[in-house]
Structure 1
Amino acid sequence: MTDAEQARRSLAAGDTVTAGIHYERALAADPANAALMFDYALLLMHTGHARDAAKMLTDVRRLAPGDAQVLLALAACLRAGGAIEDALQAADEATRRLPHDAMAWMLKGSIDVRAGEYPRAETSLRRALSLAPGFGEAWHYLGESLHQQQRWEEAIHAYTRASAEQPGEIYNIAMCAEQAGNLELARSGYKQACHIYPDRPDILLRLAQTEARLCEFSSEHETLERFRRVVADGIPREPVLEAFPLTYLPLESALVRAALDHYMEAVSARTTAVVRLAPATPQPIPAGGRIRIGYLSADLGMHAVGQLVGDVFRFHERERFEVFVYSLRRHDDAVASRIRESSDVYVECEDLGVAGVVERIRQDGIHVLIDLNGPTTGARLEILASRPAALQLGWLGFLHAQQAPWLDAILLDEHVQPSTHAWPFDDRVVHLPVSVFPPPPRVGGRRQRERFGMPAEGSAVLASFNNSYKLDAALAAAWVEILRLAPRATLMVYLPPAARPGFLTHWSSIGGDPSRLMLVDALAPEDQADRAASCDLMLDAFRYQGGATTLDAVVNGLPVLCRAGQTPPSRLGVSINRALGLEELVVADTTEYVERAAWLANHPGELEALRDRVATIVREGVLFDAKRSAAGIEATCEQMLREKGILS
């Protein structure tokens, strides 16, 4: 039996080691045998040696240039080895030669997904599925493309079709369900995924986040304990953990730091695969020249970030700054229109891949690029990791450490991250000379208690309008005690319907009286303004305080009581209250939080005077001055450009 025959027999028996030995012997005797090389390359690919396989298949192409199957295998190997640009060239040629081959179109689409070209990927993958409707791998990558385009229900359908071949797709289904707000489906999916992959910390973390959103505090605690056991010996590099829940779930800072390090390492690896441009070379800004400042975000529409930044863009000093805005997601609403009008150059980037956005930013000659996303939904951090600008900063969208080596600093303020507090991360923190928060739109709510079913004046209505994941067991216990000490008060809590069973179960279990609660739905902004104006005191969360929510409350005359925490997300209300000069609404611990809230609830005259004071501060514009916010950003950028020698 020849070595070639023995190699194929061993491979058929599943003995890849013996097969490899015989393939090498056979090729030593016949080094130009294209068929042998092709077979051995496939073996290398399936045993995790994609780069070696790609080199061999490149040699096979020279020996058999007309064999389109070699192109398909080469594209797959290059994709697996991270050579995305070369993989795409091979796949493009394969689809030209095999226009009716579903595999060719699937490979092309999957490579475009890796390159961040999601709309283009969708086109190829739908072509593959028109040729082979049951092609599970094509359904999976179509799901990824739709997932990244935030088309959650369509992505769920695609992943569901793929799950016929791969039950693990339930994890992807759960992620999309969570983003779509279907928390019950998300929880069920994550639990199924945990059963399939019991030692995957990324799944456990997402399950804990979903349980937090459902206000299932005991389940969240149990899941986090299981998570800690799984990562007791260290956090694996793959798969990476979602960054956002790391900012507020009760996890040790060393663990959070390690998880963020792995997250950013994965971004760097993807960047190397899809962008071949060298980092931008800093060019000095000539005397009298304008600084080109670029803002990058997927949230420049009806989103908390979009609502806050529009006036900042408008009030940049145009004699010194030119404002470029790069929108990673298309928005067609009033907020997006205002942002477009406030920009000198507005670039729609949804249909551009990562390399295309990087090239555009470099062509525009941006000196300062400010990321308004951080590692959140819709972000494309590979753009920043490519270093298209000389100075890159993180602001507003992710008020926490990132461990992102491509950021020169993250912008906070002295109240969110005091200089005296420990900072166990590598990110440089630069304190803005103003509040980290720009001013919100002024709505001007009207006090209409009867309209919202509230008790008559004189009986305090305490309120929480924060998202459900910000609530926790300690906060609920404090609220129960406040209502015990303030027997005439009512507590209004915004909760989505899915979160109410969990919250009410916990509330009753700790002795809370459900009749003292008003559970309410989300309202349109103008109606929420009236509802906030009709309440007496907002009780901020502990682990992740309100940002835009607190600003919206204050601008409508509603005071917000907050407890100073140890992390930036647990100090957002501190920043806002201190910027307003409302030190009496910042307390040091839970005992003081309970006592202050109860005292105010029991003294309606004092509470009314406090509301009047907040309204006066808002009218006088102490905090709500977009010009000051823009000037603070400008001063910080100029200082850091001087540090780099770019601005004299």
Structure 2
Amino acid sequence: MTDPDRPDPAAPGAQTPAVASATLLADGLAHHEAGRLAEAETAYRRLLDQDPGNSDGWNLLGVVRAQQGDARACVRCIRSALAIREAPEYLYNLGTALRDLGRLDEAVAAYERVVRLAPDRADAHMAVGALHQLRRQPIEAIAAYRRAIAIRPDSAEAHSSLGMVLQEVGQREEAIAAFSAAILHKPSHAEGHSNLGFALQGLGRLSESAAAFAVALAFRPEFPEAWSNLGNTFKEMGLLDRAVAAYRTALAQRPHFPEAAGNLAMTQHYASECGNADFLATARESVARLGLATGVTAPPRAFPNAEDPDRPLRVGYVSGDFNSHPVGYFLESVLAAHDRAAVTIHCYANNVRRDALTDRLRARADVWRDIAGLDDDTVEGMVRGDGIDLLVDLSGHTAGNRLPLFARKPAPVQVSWLGYFGTTGLPAMDHIIADRHVVSPGEERFFTETVWRLPGSYLCFTPPSDRVPVTPPPMLGTGVVTLGCFQNRAKITSATVALWAGVLAAMPQARLLVKARQMGDAGVRQALRDRFAAHGIAANRVRMEGESPRADYLAGHGRIDIAVDTTPFGGGTTTAECLWMGVPLVTLRGDRWAGRIGESLLHTLGLADRLVADSPADYVAKVAALAGDPAALADLRAGLRGRLEQSPLCDGPGFARGLEAAYRAMWQGWCRKR
């Protein structure tokens, strides 16, 4: 019997099943290529109703479903295609869908099946490399990108991706070579020029870095990442106005750009024309811009934490700087000294770079979780699952921060400490830890958090593991006073140059040594010479040097008699290290937290009356007084390390008890409000 609804193959004009399938497939592809996804889906479904064994139809239906935002349906469709026929293209599409679902292990397996079936598929090797990069497996990522380059030596994208991983693992020269290769094969590759600028910036080759970013922006003016990174280069060169302008351009192009917002907030602390009111306004602007003013999850969920004011507490530290960084240096001894009967310590590490200090910090934590690359939903789940009572931000608006996580309020009490020197602007941040020197009475109005002052300094210094010995003042042998500053170039503002020029003018036989990574750049050195020349200071009185290995950097203090601090942003870690090396530092009392860290340290050591100046004239007088009494200077120098070691600044257990008391009081305050 003939089915009246099915064409008779013998009838004139009737289509065979194969021809009908090909027609429906072509119809679906035409709609698909034109972007008419609903019509394409209808055609593919009609094809599969007629020909359920058509693997191409299942694959293409899966692709359409993925483009419509349903990656799970895509996976089901493509698995149906693969059950019929294993084809490299199907596997590639499956890998992409699994990647979008966050199922990275399965995605890698799918892409690796592609390269087994089609070893010359450079795109599959690239996809494997990108997934290894996401999973923090740089060795595997590098190998995959190199395989892609072997197949497609002219692929700018492959060279650029390889360079990014090499940059992450610290192989900066190799990264520069990879980015240069990307540009060679595609001169208009804006990403390659931008990546090259970033790598050169990391090596302190700042003039070249700025030029590379300029080329990137010439090819793509709407490139917010390049603008933000160019701003960082300008900041390191001491060109603060240009840095701020670059950040604002980045934010105009992408208003929701946390890195650029943080860079802008950070850079204002270096600028003399900005003050506490500006820092607060910018923090609030950043929080509003990023949608963090009222949190990103609404309404906030209840906390299951037991409301017992006296029980042991779970404290979580969140940072992108659990490595050889000021945060790591100041945190190490505190982490080791925490009373485990009173607190359990969880560390949430958002840093990609890891080193020996990372390993030591990890060993001192009760629980360590790597969160770099994880989204805020996932990390919030971790924090809540760990039952954290107090979550401590160690970054503020600096690089690697997770302020959007804190905006979600994943813990009952949230605290900012150590990594920043101003308000976060987050309504969800309850407290900020300071001391009476860095935040003077009456300045609470510049913080959205409750300012919690510790009784002593808010810092606890971990002495360097390199036991470089203290040496006598070099002036005893040379007869010439050598002043020194080992802080970064951005802190050497016009106000700082004027201050130092006043000292050099008052002490005609003195000379100045400036040592910083940025000073390795010839253009940066010349620009600073020009600034001193404008104050009548000859070039031969100011010596500039680039960075050195840490032990050599510490030993370099033996070449200076007196350290001179910067303004308005003074030293922190460099001040503590300078004092450790026996070199007294003269600082100018600042108008902001970042300009008072030295004052806080020197008050703790009982040296504020000799080393903290109230005015530029007092600054000059205090430096001259030290230089004018070589015997007293030698005596001070010989005892300075011991004074530091015996002070609260190096008392990890004592500091930890005070910090734990603050945490306990914060927790009890939360319990009372319940």
TM range (shorter): 0.7 to 0.9
Once the two structures are superposed, what CA deviation does each residue of 1:281-333 show, in whole Å capped at 9, x if it has no partner?
Answer: 34125476321112233332333222221110121122111122333447775
SS of equivalent to 1:415 = coil
Select 2:497's aligned residue among 476, 479, 488. 476
Task: Return the match for 2:100 from 76, 88, 91.
Answer: 88
Cα pair 2:99 2:107 within 8 Å, conserved: no
Residue 513 (structure 1) shift: 2.4
Contact 2:98–2:107 (8 Å) recurs in 1: no
Letter in 1 for 2:598: G
Alignment deviations for residues 590-641 of structure 1 (CA, whole Å, 9 cap, x no partner)? 2322232233323434544554674563253243211232123212222222
Q: 1:23 matched to which residue of 2? A: none
Q: Structure 1: state its 5+ residue gaps.
A: 1-32, 44-52
**Distance in structure 1 (CA, Å) of the matches to 2:539 and 2:200:** 29
Q: Judge conservation of contact 2:331–2:460 (CA < 8 Å) in 1.
A: yes
Q: Cα distance 1:76–1:391, how it changes in 2: closer, same or farther (>3 A)?
A: farther
Query: For the residues of structure 2 that align with 1:58 and 1:381, how far apart are their CA atoms?
Result: 42
- Equivalent of 1:237, from 255, 269, 286? 255
- 1:333-348 paired onto structure 2 within 5 Å: 334-348=356-370
Q: What amino acid is the match of 2:242?
A: T
After superposition, where does 1:154-173 map in structure 2 within 5 Å? 156=176, 164=186, 167-169=189-191, 170-173=193-196
| Structure 2 Cα separation of the partners of residues 85 and 575 of structure 1 | 54
The amino acid that maps onto 1:643 is G
Amino acid aligned to 1:466: Q
Q: For 1:353-372, what aligned pairs fall within 5 Å after superposition? A: 357-372=379-394
Change over 3 Å in CA distance of 1:205–1:137 after alignment to 2: closer
The whole-number CA distance in structure 2 between the counterparts of 1:149 and 1:467 is 23
Query: Hey, what's the Cα distance between the residues in 1 that align with 2:436 and 2:180?
Result: 48
Q: Does 1:182 align with 2:208?
A: no
1:137-184 C-alpha deviation (Å, 9 max, x unpaired): 666666666666766556656655665285432233322321343323
Whole-Å Cα distance in 2 between the matches of residues 192 and 514 of structure 1? Answer: 32
Comparing 347-356 and 489-498, the one that deviates more: 347-356
Tell me how far apart the structure 2 counterparts of residues 247 and 77 of structure 1 sit (CA, whole Å). 46
Specify the SS of the correspondent of 1:481. Answer: helix
| TM alignment of 1:117-266, pairs within 5 A | 117=135, 119=137, 122=141, 126=145, 152=172, 156=176, 164=186, 167-169=189-191, 170-196=193-219, 206-207=229-230, 209-214=232-237, 220=239, 223=242, 237=255, 240-243=260-263, 244-250=266-272, 252=274, 260=283, 264=287
| TM superposition shift of 1:123 | 8.2
Bigger mean CA deviation after superposition, 293-302 or 104-113: 104-113
Shift of 1:525: 4.2
C-alpha deviations, 1:430-489, integer Å up to 9, x for none?
323331211231666544469xx7662764332211122211222122222212212333
**Partners of 2:560 and 2:583 within 8 A in 1:** yes
1:578 counterpart = 2:603:
yes
**Are the counterparts in 2 of residues 280 and 387 from structure 1 also a CA contact under 8 Å?**
no
Q: Distance in 2 between matches of 1:349 and 1:106?
A: 24
Equivalent-residue separation in structure 2 for 1:575 and 1:192 (angstroms): 44
The answer on 1:460 being equivalent to 2:481 is yes
Counterparts of 2:150 and 2:395, CA distance in 1: 36
Does the Cα contact within 8 Å between 1:373 and 1:397 map onto a contact in 2? Answer: yes
CA, structure 1 residues 258+478, in 2 after alignment: closer, same or farther (shift >3 Å)?
Answer: closer
* Percentage of pairs with the same residue: 24
Q: 1:360 to 1:310 in 2, by over 3 A?
A: same
Contact 1:358 1:388 in 2 (8 A): yes
CA shift, 1:551, in A, is 0.7
CA gap of 1:389–1:514, structure 2 versus 1, over 3 A, is same
CA separation in 1, counterparts of 2:468 and 2:308? 48
Cα offsets for 1:44-67 (capped at 9, x unmatched): xxxxxxxxx8x9998888777844
Q: TM-score, normalised by structure 1?
A: 0.74
Task: Evaluate the alpha carbon distance shift between residue 645 and residue 318 of structure 1 in structure 2; reply closer, same or farther with a 3 A threshold.
Answer: same
Of 534, 554, 576, which aligns to 2:579?
Answer: 554
Number of residue pairs aligned between Structure 1 and Structure 2? 591
The residue number in structure 2 matching 1:68 is 59
Aligned partner (choices 644, 647, 655) of residue 629 of structure 1? 655
Taking structure 1 as reference, are residues 575 and 483 closer, same or farther at Cα in structure 2, changes over 3 Å only? same
1:432 maps onto 2:444 in alignment:
no
Match of 1:14 in 2: none
**Structure 1 match to 2:643:** 617
Distance 2:367 2:575 in 1: 31
Aligned equivalents of 1:195 and 1:579: distance in 2? Answer: 52
Give the structure 2 partner of residue 536 of structure 1: 561
Q: How big is the shift at 1:540?
A: 0.6
* Alpha-carbon distance in 2 for matches of 1:238, 1:346: 30
> 2-side partners of 1:177 and 1:237: how far apart?
27
In the TM superposition, residue 372 of structure 1 has moved relative to its aligned partner by 2.3
Number of the residue aligned with 1:320? 342
Residues 240 and 271 of structure 2 are in contact (CA less than 8 Å); yes or no, is this contact kept in structure 1? Answer: no
AA of the residue aligned to 1:184? S
Q: Quick one: distance in 2 between partners of 1:137 and 1:276?
A: 40
**Cα RMSD after superposing both structures:** 4.7
- The 2-side partners of 1:166 and 1:188 are apart by 15
**1:393 equivalenced with 2:415 (yes/no):** yes
Unaligned runs of 5+ in 2: 1-26, 49-56, 72-95
Distance 1:105 1:235, change over 3 A: closer
Question: For the structure 1 residues 190 and 404, does the alpha-carbon distance in structure 2 shift closer, same or farther, using more than 3 Å as the test?
Answer: farther
Q: Which residue of 1 aligns with 2:22?
A: none
